[in-house]
Amino acid sequence: MKFSKEQWRMVTALLLVAVLSTTFLGITNILTRAPIAEAERQALMDALMQVLPKHNNDPIQDTRQISLPKHKQATTFYISRNQNQSINAIAWETIAPDGYNGSIRILMAVRPNGSLNAVRITYHQETPGLGDGIMNLSWLDAFVGKSLSNAHWAVKKDGGDFDQFTGATITPRAVVKAIKKGLEMFAKQRAYLFEDKKEVAKELKDALR
């Protein structure tokens, strides 16, 4: 089958457009990769600043990673250190898979004694005016200072300590359940999370002198 000159021109033009489009997308990706990464880093830092106590380190650079059951990827734990470089809190993101309209992502920070320093919702799709009450700081502040030992981890409708919302019990119930599971995981992993690798490295360095 032979192409006419007009058909060859069309084929050539399409190929040229495809090559130029691919090149443009590649260049755009390269140019935007760094700004996007920086924007994501800043968003993470802003979120961490809301849940961690005052610290003298960069929590994004001071991390632990643990592969948890039912998690496809390792969970990153962000370390907060005081002036003496001792750990004063650890933050990580947990997920409530059973929200009313899907998964709810929760950033929680826990102090060394196992009590919550703060909690924030980083993503949800709950119904505006009902389930989105989980974003209210007045509701989230009820978790501050709570631990496995000093709270009944359920909404009040189920005999617990935490408020539900009128017409929307499923959403707060899912969040309370997820935070409790996060605290249980923290208790199990506490020895590893609070193992001060910086101090271990210093001791090894001194021993080799």
DSSP state of 3: P
**21-34 mean pLDDT:** 69
Q: How confident is the model at residue 38 (pLDDT cuts 50, 70, 90)?
A: low
Half-sphere exposure of 92 (CA within 13 A, CB side): 25
pLDDT band at 208 (very low <50, low <70, confident <90, very high): very low
| Co-location of 80 and 166 in the same domain | yes
Q: Are residues 1 and 42 in the same domain?
A: yes
pTM of the model: 0.75
Q: Are residues 38 and 139 in the same domain?
A: no
**Does 74 share its domain with 132?**
yes
CA 28 to chain centre: 28
Q: Is residue 57 part of a domain?
A: no
Confidence of residue 45 (pLDDT cuts 50, 70, 90): confident
- pLDDT value for 88: 94
Does the pLDDT value for residue 138 go beyond 90?
Answer: yes
Do 70 and 162 have their domain in common?
A: yes
123 and 46 in a common domain: no
Residue 200 has pLDDT above 90, yes or no: no
Three-state secondary-structure class, residue 19:
helix
The fraction of the chain above a pLDDT of 90, given in percent, is 56
Contacts of residue 104, defined as CB under 8 A and 6 or more positions apart, other chains included, come to 95, 96, 121, 123, 124, 126, 134, 171, 174, 175, 178
Same domain (yes/no): 68, 165? yes
Mean pLDDT, residues 182-192: 93
pLDDT at residue 155 is higher than 90 = yes
Same domain for 10 and 100, yes or no, is no
The structural domain count of the chain equals: 2
Buried (b) or exposed (e) across 98-121, using 16+ Cβ within 10 A? ebbeeebebbbbbbeeebbbbbbb
Q: Cα 155 to chain center, whole Å?
A: 23
pLDDT of residue 204: 38
Q: Which domain holds residue 111?
A: 63-198
Asked if the structure places residue 207 within a domain, the reply is no
- Please indicate, yes or no, if residue 81 is contained in any of the structural domains: yes
Q: Which residue has the higher pLDDT, 90 or 44?
A: 90
Q: Are residues 134 and 163 in the same domain?
A: yes
The pair of three-digit structure tokens given for residue 128, joined into one six-digit string: 């505006």
Q: What single DSSP character describes residue 46?
A: H
Domain identity same for 81 and 182 = yes
- The position carrying tokens 């457009």 is 17
Is residue 56 a part of any domain in this protein? no
- The verdict on 47 and 69 lying in the same domain is no
- Taking 80 as the threshold, does the pLDDT of residue 101 lie above it? yes
